[in-house]
Structure 1
Amino acid sequence: MEQEISALQHAMARLEDPTTLIPPVAKYYAASRIYSAVERCFAHWENIPEISNAELYFDYLGALEDVEDRRGFLLATQNYLARLKNAHTHFIDFTLLQNSGFGFWARPLPVSASKHAWTVCGSTRTDIKAGDIIEQVNNLPANEFFAGYTKLVSASKPEAAARNLLLFNSFLLPNQLNITLHDGQSLQITRAGHKHPLSLLKAVELDTSGKHPHLIIRSFSKPEFEEQALSFLSQLDDHSPLILDLRGNGGGNTPRKLMQKLCLEPILVCRESTPQVIGLEKAEQGVAAWQNGELSAHHNQPNAETTPMRLLTKDETFPASATPFWGELIILIDVGSGSATEDLLIPLKHSGRATIVGEASAGSTGQPYFEASLPKTQLTISAKRADFPDGTRFEGVGIQPDYPVMPTPEDIRHGNDPALMLAQQLLRQMVSS
């Protein structure tokens, strides 16, 4: 006898076609699963104690009311999740990622002469070049236009949201932009047919052309990237001074072997915790509210007070390599350095093993919970909170550099790298002393 297809299976099968409108029942079914995942798994309410998930969800449902297509559902969902201020908590619709880039990326720089402008940091286009300054977009000041979309980017820091908008989240923007550059030139650009500005870069490179080796690791998304970095490291004298460049490395798999190679003493693990959702504890909270006469439709306690956390690690260590890399170590980072990259940075910073140059890191790491609420989508909710080994806050703060350095638009335009130049200068001083 042929198995009967349920109404849910039938609805999901229809939505495999990305052009199909989302019926209300499927829309609210997906939204309820997303709300439930946040309620059960989200590990960072301490950063937003004033926010109630119930109120966020109510706003989310209101935003969904007139939504019928995938783009509308994506924008409403990201508006909900981005308010949780966590880089590992977001929603992706893979059908909207195709041809999503404009061929350049830009961000506001605090050292820029104009507080309204965004500076182009990378480009594969001929009409927009690195170092160009965007003054207006669609007849609005650039910062005003982009702010409407930056608020939809999941990030643990505002600086990271602004950096990642055009780099990884340009699918949020309209298909066409009218841009005015600092020299008055007006351009009408579309997203079709342009390579991503990072597509031409290798994941791992070793540059030995300078006085001191410069090891660049742009991703830990594949295990072979860590292996390649270790292979490059093995080619160097293990007492050689080294510049380790982790700028723009958004993470992937925690590079534990590289961590062990670079650390010179037992490695103190960051303090980790996760939501502990136990039915009886939730029942007891409800009993208390009922007994106090607070149980009503108007009573929404802050989530930070109603989500108990279970400590996973505290004061734990694991050994460094028996044959470590002993050389003086300077690490370059920026707000694009996040997740597994910060797992590597935390012990190097906490132990004083490395001198860190650049910009504060992204301030977000942890294990996400994965779910597909609709066909061809992916929901991730950060289910693990990490703090520095001494318990001080890491989420939304990140790794602070010993020497803060930011490029100017002029640096980018002329190909100058002030952070790398400072690192080379510091190594010369360390070696000579």
Structure 2
Amino acid sequence: MRKMLLLSLFVFAATGQAVAGESAKEQVARAQLAHQAGDYRASADLYHRVAGALDDNAGIFEQEVLYGGASAAAMAGDREQALDFLGRAVKAGVMQADRIRHDPSLASLQGDPRLDALLADIAAQQKRSDRIWNSPGFAVAYSDSLSEDQRVAGLSRLWSEAKFSFASFDRVPDLDWDALYLETLPRVRAAPDTYAYYRELQAFLARLQDGHSTLVLRSASIRDRFQARPGLSTASVEGRVFVRDVFDPALRAAGISRGWELLTIDGEPVSVYAERELRPYTSASTPQDLHSQMYERSLLQGPLDRPLSIGFSDPRGKEHVVKVGRMPSKEYKAARQEPPAFEWKLLPGNVALVTLRSFSDNTAADQFEAAFAQISRADAIVFDLRDNGGGNSNVGYRILSLLTDRPFQTSAWRTPDYRPALRAWSISNPDFNAGAGEWPHDGKRHYAKPVLVLTSARTYSAAEDFVVAFDAMRRGRIVGELTGGSTGSPMMFDLPGGMVALICTKRDTYPDGKEFVGVGIAPQAEVHPTVADYRNGRDTVLDAAVRLARAGAQ
């Protein structure tokens, strides 16, 4: 899952403005805690105090203060103040009509003519914006062969949106984006079909070297044409590729199981196949991200109508060549049976293993909070985020809020801030730098015993935001491997052919500015899986973490 930025009541940019002896950030933290505690009147009063002292350049911070005030006032039963806050929020730039309609804290305002007028104002603003930035003319449905004009328009939109919005051009200093556009134009014009056009756009975007700047296929039917998968997954261990899970009954019947090694694909060594078929088209932020995508996440995907011939070696060393078909996405999803976002169990030695596989919705935080009373009896907690591809960062922050007794900092971030007049005057356009955010502690529950976090290159996006905040808290040790090194907030827009492009507009760092995008978050205890352990069903990384947890709990 790639992280999308969701403006939240609980995450805000730092500001240096002071209010009544406290910074605005400190006042908002107290407002959040009051809201969490159900003291909505006190929360609304604090937001009102902060809002009255903000200047005209507070930007996103002002929007969130005003929206937070509307939420608190509505919950306090003060309809007039809530609508006043909300009206000011819309004037400050809040254009999230669906958020307002469906926010349960604003339920008491629904049906009020003044709210309807605000929503109408937002709709008018959105319509004007869409004329410039989101023309439906680009949302051309899939066909096997697009016109040359449609293909050129798609490439041109991709080039122009990235040129002004991509947050990390400094990470690819030798890339001449305009020259690459001109080099790609003739290949896009000559593309014989939509699949070839799609591959050209993939290769174009891959040159940005950013895992959050990529292409998504809008419908399952198109994904089946281009990105179908067989009913097995793979793992890279000590530079070799092994079967991880098998969920296609036909492959199970053929005897294929976890621990079989992949030697060849369509008669070629796995590495040769991957270098040709995957490397040029893979958007990745770091070497470990690229390797994981090539050999673990995308190795066997491709057109549904093209089966693979895979050469395996079983654990006894006997070699097999098996024809492996790809599955339609609906069939694949049913066979795979997606593992739960949250699981936990008690290991020997009274160590709780909490597995967090996804932050795509609130499930992981909701279930962790529900099980907290039991989990907190453990002498140590090991959080496993090795297969967490991200989602919404706030889900992870909710979990971290129970591991501390004070507010904690979250990632700092910046984004391009293009002002044409400055360019006309030959003045540089500095990024908008939001600084670090802050999240309140739970206030009622606090686990103070040892905590460790397991990471891998598959720890990605919002899961990395969790690890950054955990690391900055100095709450415990990170065990395992470098994370993927890719997070941010992609802007999404349509391209002809049923494709959606993502361009990462936001560059995150540690609260103190330390870079991890393009680098990865380094564990304090670096541990790698071994082939021997993998084939014997042992978890090298978890075993090392449990030893550390027990030592820390003694």
CA contact (8 A) 1:219 1:249 kept: yes
Shift, 1:390, TM fit:
2.0
For residues 279 and 373 of structure 2, the distance between their equivalents in structure 1, rounded to whole angstroms, comes to 41
CA contact (8 A) 1:334 1:359 kept: yes
TM-score by length of 1: 0.84
Shift, 1:335, TM fit:
0.7
Q: 1:334 to 1:198 in 2, by over 3 A?
A: farther
1:142-189: CA deviation from partner (whole Å, max 9, x where unpaired): 111112213312221222223234654454468222221233311221
1:53-96: CA deviation from partner (whole Å, max 9, x where unpaired): 11222232233122143321221111111111111100112343
For residues 235 and 553 of structure 2, the distance between their equivalents in structure 1, rounded to whole angstroms, comes to 36
Query: Does 2:220 correspond to 1:91?
Result: no
Task: Indicate the residue corresponding to 1:146 in structure 2.
Answer: 274
3-state SS of the aligned residue for 1:208? strand
Shift, 1:27, TM fit:
0.8
Task: Indicate the residue corresponding to 2:194 in structure 1.
Answer: 70
1:323-375: CA deviation from partner (whole Å, max 9, x where unpaired): 32212101111111111111111121123212111111111111111111225
Amino acid at match of 1:421: D
Q: 1:60 to 1:230 in 2, by over 3 A?
A: farther
Task: Indicate the residue corresponding to 2:387 in structure 1.
Answer: 248
Task: Indicate the residue corresponding to 2:174 in structure 1.
Answer: 50
Task: Indicate the residue corresponding to 1:301 in structure 2.
Answer: none
Amino acid at match of 1:206: W
Amino acid at match of 2:185: L
Q: Which residue of the other structure, out of 161, 164, 185, is the alignment partner of 2:290?
A: 161
CA contact (8 A) 1:131 1:411 kept: no
For residues 353 and 84 of structure 1, the distance between their equivalents in structure 2, rounded to whole angstroms, comes to 34
1:370-401: CA deviation from partner (whole Å, max 9, x where unpaired): 11122532111110001122222211112111
CA contact (8 A) 1:241 1:427 kept: yes
For residues 193 and 497 of structure 2, the distance between their equivalents in structure 1, rounded to whole angstroms, comes to 13
Task: Indicate the residue corresponding to 2:264 in structure 1.
Answer: 136
TM-score by length of 2: 0.67
CA contact (8 A) 2:406 2:441 kept: yes
Query: Higher helix fraction: Structure 1 or Structure 2?
Result: 2
CA contact (8 A) 1:104 1:166 kept: no
Q: Which residue of the other structure, out of 134, 156, 170, is the alignment partner of 1:32?
A: 156
3-state SS of the aligned residue for 1:86? coil
TM alignment of 1:288-367, pairs within 5 A: 308-314=430-436, 317-322=438-443, 323-367=445-489
Task: Indicate the residue corresponding to 1:119 in structure 2.
Answer: 242
Structure 1 residue runs without a partner (length 5+): 1-7, 289-305
Identity of aligned residues (%): 23
Structure 2 residue runs without a partner (length 5+): 1-133
CA contact (8 A) 2:236 2:296 kept: no
1:9-29: CA deviation from partner (whole Å, max 9, x where unpaired): 99768x42x344100111111
CA contact (8 A) 1:157 1:362 kept: yes
Q: Which has the higher contact order (CA 8 A, sep 6+)?
A: 1
Task: Indicate the residue corresponding to 2:229 in structure 1.
Answer: 101
Amino acid at match of 2:222: L
1:173-225: CA deviation from partner (whole Å, max 9, x where unpaired): 68222221233311221203663686342221111254311111100001233
Bigger radius of gyration, 1 or 2?
A: 2
Q: Which residue of the other structure, out of 344, 367, 382, is the alignment partner of 1:228?
A: 367
The aligned length equals: 398
Query: Does 2:329 correspond to 1:206?
Result: no
3-state SS of the aligned residue for 1:372? strand
Shift, 1:307, TM fit:
6.3
For residues 326 and 534 of structure 2, the distance between their equivalents in structure 1, rounded to whole angstroms, comes to 23
Task: Indicate the residue corresponding to 2:310 in structure 1.
Answer: 179
For residues 198 and 262 of structure 1, the distance between their equivalents in structure 2, rounded to whole angstroms, comes to 33
Q: 1:59 to 1:418 in 2, by over 3 A?
A: same
